[in-house]
A and B are shown apart, each in its own frame.
Chain A
């Protein structure tokens, strides 16, 4: 019963939806039409981006209202959300994950590390940026990017 009181007292915590982002939708995303299943791949990130992705799908930013949903298998996914510089050990698993996703598929690189290796550039364990391993369709800058920016990138993919 205390949970019920809490639910009634809290009400809606999701923020008002911001206007639809301007960004150009990638070609593959046009066929998705308002629905995108998302698979997260940590290719060697420091987990800062994961925390922001976690809050993007939390109640406040609620990425789910735009039709994006996290799934447990790359076979179910339309979007790969890749974070971190790609380490040598994760290069092959990342390639296989993207190959396991049915077409049309979209790869979103999240965070500065994913785009240009960021802090870890030149490290002995780093294979390269995400773009060096798999083709990237959408880029999200920031270290870490704010949840709003991740949600905006997902909205260009779902088109809602």
Chain B
């Protein structure tokens, strides 16, 4: 594979790592404006990150390797997922390995590492958060897998770049019943996986309602910076996956540097737009009761199942 492909992978990871705090800042800013506030500015998450990296690390007594390894593992798995998902280009050196199941497993590995870290702290809230995160993850992973299976049936493969290329050459696939059902199912799964309203509230201060936040209560300083970066990168990668699968226009398929650059710009624009829409929608939603979350996720699983079924029967395989 060419040098352009290598550069495309590096650029994808770099854009995700550097751009993800800006996405969080944008989402907070949109929300602040809709609430009548002035807002802290788009660059505020960067300031938070810079400050956290300079603070002294604190390791609570009694915590073991699970607590220390989790932040790095979370960021590393998400960075690998960012390299694999065809965010800007499908012609990369890793496109042969960019299997859908691998990407979902990488994201799940990050979740599990963080849940173990939450258990490792031995606090009541850490264990409670870990238990809830695993409950949600167990319901979300099959939905993500099924939703993308519905798209992989017409493409005949679970390789993500091939699915995206197929959709680029044949846009009618996206407007098919299977494509629309899979979009809806995957959108709900992304909300749950990234801990947004209505499943989890990222800005909550009430420990009893926390899911993701409860697991990371004991992190401080540079470790907290990594955990926050990892959680934000996960949102960027999943929104990027959604954009790549259902609005693949502009993604480079060849080894042209200009096409890759255009793909990166369009990727940033698509994710920024999805993020802004999500932040605006969250103003209108309330977090659902924890015991209602499985119902919501079961609904999204059902949509994914219908997508697979209709893809099978209407696809004429």
Contact = CB atoms under 8 A, between A and B. Distances in A.
Contact of A102 (B32, B34, B50, B58): B58
Interface stretch (A9-17, A83-91, A133-141): A9-17
Contacts, number: 90
Given A7-B283, A64-B32, A35 B37 contact: no
Interface residues of A, number: 34
B218 to A, nearest CB: 6
B274 to A, nearest CB: 20
B112 interface: no
A65 B38 CA distance: 6
A13 B37 CA distance: 6
B205 A7 contact: no
Contacts of A73: 217-218
A102 B47 contact: no
Interface stretch (B99-107, B172-180, B219-227): B219-227
Contacts of A64: 32, 37, 39-40
B44 A67 contact: yes
Nearest to B32: A64
A72 B129 CA distance: 14
Per DSSP, are chain B's interface residues mostly helix, strand or loop, or mixed?
Answer: loop
Nearest to B49: A35
Per DSSP, are chain A's interface residues mostly helix, strand or loop, or mixed?
Answer: loop
Interface in A28-72: 31-35, 37, 59, 62, 64-67, 69-72
Contacts of A3: 283-284
A14 B205 CA distance: 22
B103 to A, nearest CB: 30
Nearest to B204: A72
B283 A35 contact: no
B219 A75 contact: yes
B284 to A, nearest CB: 6
A71 B56 contact: no
Contacts of B47: 33-35, 67
B57 A102 contact: yes
A78 interface: yes
22 contacts: A7-B34, A12-B36, A32-B51, A35-B44, A35-B48, A35-B51, A59-B36, A62-B37, A64-B32, A64-B39, A64-B40, A65-B41, A67-B47, A70-B205, A71-B205, A75-B58, A75-B219, A76-B220, A78-B55, A100-B58, A102-B55, A102-B58
Interface of B: 32-41, 44, 47-48, 50-51, 54-58, 204-207, 210, 213, 217-221, 224, 283-284
Give the 8 A-B residue pairs with the shortest CB-CB distance, closest first. A13-B36, A75-B220, A35-B47, A65-B38, A14-B38, A73-B217, A102-B220, A35-B51
